[in-house]
């Protein structure tokens, strides 16, 4: 019988441990600029965790009353988009999967429920 070093067994236990629930992981939209591919800014893979962000600031980034709860399944989000980066004029709402959708938009409100 072979014996494994203690540090190897500890690593094996860590790797096989069940992940903690990420049901309430935050989705924070800090930036809305033209031609941003939001898939590029989703960290933590497509499990529903991570943050959508860009380093600059835009007043339209987060709109009041937006839900920011992410689910553990791939993030199906409701996205409200405007025709220009100023978040003015007409807007429309679409369904958006942050893990697979590669379309670009101007001004965006993201709500994950």
Q: Is residue 11 part of a domain?
A: no
What is the reported pLDDT for 89? 61
pLDDT in tens, 72-108: 234 445 555 555 544 556 666 555 554 444 444 434 4
Two structure tokens written together for 97: 């999967």
SS3 38: helix
Q: Is residue 63 part of a domain?
A: yes
Higher pLDDT, 110 or 89: 89
Residue appearing with tokens 């629930």: 21
User: How far from chain centre, in Å, is Cα 31?
Assistant: 13
Residue 13 lies in a domain: no
pLDDT at 95: 55
Domain count within the chain: 1
Token pair, residue 93, equals: 């709402």
Q: What is the pTM of this model?
A: 0.25
Length of the chain as a residue count:
113
Question: So what's the pLDDT on residue 26?
Answer: 39
Start-to-end Cα distance in the chain: 51
């Amino acid at each position: 019988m072979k014996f494994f070093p203690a540090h190897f067994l500890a690593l094996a236990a860590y790797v096989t441990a069940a992940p903690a629930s990420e049901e309430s992981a935050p989705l924070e939209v800090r930036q809305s600029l033209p031609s941003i591919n939001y898939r590029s800014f989703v960290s933590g893979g497509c499990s529903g965790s991570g943050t959508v962000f860009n380093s600059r600031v835009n007043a339209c980034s987060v709109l009041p009353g937006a839900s920011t709860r992410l689910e553990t399944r791939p993030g199906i989000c409701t996205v409200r988009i405007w025709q220009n980066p100023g978040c003015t004029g007409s807007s429309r709402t679409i369904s958006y999967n942050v893990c697979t959708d590669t379309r670009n938009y101007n001004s965006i409100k993201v709500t994950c429920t």
